[in-house]
Amino acid sequence: MRARFLVPLFIFLVLVGFLWKGLSRDPREVPSPLVGKPAPTFHLPRLDAPEKIFSPSDMRGQVWLLNVWASWCVSCREEHPVLVELAKRRDVPLIGLNYKDQRPAALAWLERFGNPYHLSVSDADGRVGIDYGVYGVPETYVIDRAGIIRMKHIGPVTPEVLDTKILPLVAELSK
């Protein structure tokens, strides 16, 4: 008989649980169906030397990061120092996908804020971006030796994300 009074409490706790889960989710974070699949291939001109073509297959055999950036992107500005720091540590090669940008503007940006990239490629019309499911620049992909996407991070890479998620995964994959 006593247990009957616990029913509203139980319902309340279930509701709190649902709301807690719902409110702590980031609605911008859309799970990518590409994780666990081969990174889409492309052949794009290098930003620094457009006559040279880069393709993800050039990175076969090593773990690498693909970072989608643009000089018009505000959050990229916030992310940039973190990437510059990462580049200094030389833990993992970083390739930039310069998304829907003007080449002079992109080059000026790298000149001004430093260039953390091993190299960048120009995705001027955004087609490769669509292939990678890009929808909120910046985005960062961790790609393993076999060319499989292992992780996607949407939004700026923070030191915390780098230390708790990206670098441990890179270390794990590099074993």
Partner 1 sequence: MKRVLLSLWLALLLTPLNAKEAVPVAQDPALEARLNRLAKELRCLVCQNESLADSQADLAADLRREIREMMRQGKSDAEITRYLTDRYGDFVLYRPPLKSTTWLLWFGPFLLAGLAIAGFLYFLARRRKSLPDAPLSPEEQARVEALLGQRPEEPRS
| Contact footprint for partner 1 (CB under 8 A) | 27, 30-34, 100, 125-127, 130-136
Q: Which is nearer to partner 1, 60 or 127 (CB)?
A: 127
CB of 31 to partner 1, least distance (A): 6
Task: Go through the chain and tell me how many residues it has.
Answer: 175
CB of 133 to partner 1, least distance (A): 4
CB of 82 to partner 1, least distance (A): 23
Residue 69: burial class (beta carbons within 10 Å; 0-12, 13-18, 19+): buried
Do you find a cis peptide bond into 56, omega within 30 degrees of 0?
no
Q: Which is nearer to partner 1, 8 or 61 (CB)?
A: 8
Q: Which is nearer to partner 1, 75 or 93 (CB)?
A: 75
Q: Which is nearer to partner 1, 12 or 62 (CB)?
A: 12
CB of 38 to partner 1, least distance (A): 12
Inter-residue contact 105 to 75 (CB < 8 Å): no
